[in-house]
Amino acid sequence: MSEVRKTPVKINGQNGVIVHDKLCSDGPVDLKTGEPLIDPSTGEPYPGPNDDMAQLLHDYLVFLRSYDLSGNPRFGVLSLIALNTPIFVYDHPRFKKVANTAFTDGQHVFVDADFMRKLVTQEDASKNTQQGVIFLLLHELMHKLYYHVDRLQDVPPRIANIAEDLVINGKLIKGFKMNPVKLLSEVGFGMKPDEAEKYHNMAEEVVAEMLLIEERKKKQKQDKQDKQDKQEQGQQGQKQQGGGGSGSESGEPGDEDENDSSNSKDKNQSKGNKPKDKDESKEKGENKQGGGSGEEENVSLNKKTISQNVKETLANFKAPQETNKIKNNM
């Protein structure tokens, strides 16, 4: 069982702690007794720090799952998928490590409470001419609709995620005529009008191959530049060695032969180093494409790891009926 995390708080002079034992934490409790702290103005326990986002998500889901005036699902098949998809808001530290925006494991959708709050703020600032939360929810539901958890398994996860986002964001902008808020445009791929126009009708596999080709071209260009830089450094080194020819000035016999021998040896060593440099360059390329860095592994969110983390974390939470955060979102 994973360790239950706690965050100390002080409210109206009362010391308490927020216990992160649920997807979306309850209000603060007494440090000694574990009983909820009471708000003297209402006589009720203090609400959880993100209870308002949990309730607001419920309101968004009612709209998302509704029908238009013609009796059709408001967002087509995505509205129907939403009816059968558990969607939660979370502030649990373990889930925040998975993503600080939103994510899906192919069965559920999870939305970070802090990120959602920022989206709501920008929606209000735009006087509801731009979409934030609905855009985000439709984005995650499209991942589920197109089975993105199971596709592109032979593609580096980072490339797969970018390719999938380019396609589905393009579909939301071109197909649903949506106008994402600034925050989504900053963190998402395919949000620019030219990108949406280019990718919205493409298959994810085709886009992934295009991205891989582009990466290979960049790598080849970088390798060529690195090779050129090494050659220039080698030439400069030879010039410096040639400029210090004190042996010829001394007039001692054999110095010129020794210099020639030394230069010949340097050239041979230089030739001998080339295959090693090539291997090193090849190794760098493999690390770059293979997702070897910790940052790339974190961004890509290995699909099996997400599924396992979700199962383990949910198993440690109380049943949904014991928390009003989850039942509001079902």
Q: Distance (Å, rounded) from C-alpha 311 to C-alpha 143?
A: 19
- Whether the predicted pLDDT of 311 surpasses 80: no
Q: Which pLDDT value is given to residue 13?
A: 84
For residue 284, pLDDT over 60 is answered with no
Residue 236: the pLDDT is 75
- 82 φ, ψ (degrees, to nearest 5): -60, -30
Over range 56-61, report the average pLDDT: 96
User: Taking residues 107-136, what's their average pLDDT?
Assistant: 97
CA atoms of 133 and 116, how far apart (whole Å): 7
Least confident stretch, 8-12, 61-65, 79-83, 316-320: 316-320
Strands across the sheet containing 102-104: 87-90, 109-112, 102-104
Give the pLDDT score at 307.
60
- Answer whether residue 209 shows pLDDT above 80: yes
Residue 100 has pLDDT above 70, yes or no: yes
The secondary structure element, H or E, covering residue 137 is helix 133-145
pLDDT at 270: 42
What mean pLDDT is predicted for residues 260-269? 45
State the Cα–Cα distance between residues 330 and 325, nearest whole angstrom. Answer: 9
Taking phi first (over 0 means left), then psi (-120 to 50 degrees means alpha), and beta for anything else, what does residue 52 get?
alpha
Averaged pLDDT for residues 302-310: 58
Highest averaged pLDDT of the listed ranges 22-36, 242-256, 283-297: 22-36
User: 0.85 cut: is pTM over it?
Assistant: no
Residue 145, pLDDT > 50, answer yes
Residue 225: pLDDT band by 50, 70, 90 thresholds?
A: confident
Among residues 9, 124, 138, which one has the least CA distance to residue 85? 138
- Domain locations along the chain: 5-45, 51-209+312-327
Instruction: Let me know: does 4 contact 20? Beta carbons within 8 Å.
Output: yes
CA quadruple 151, 156, 159, 161: dihedral positive or negative?
A: positive
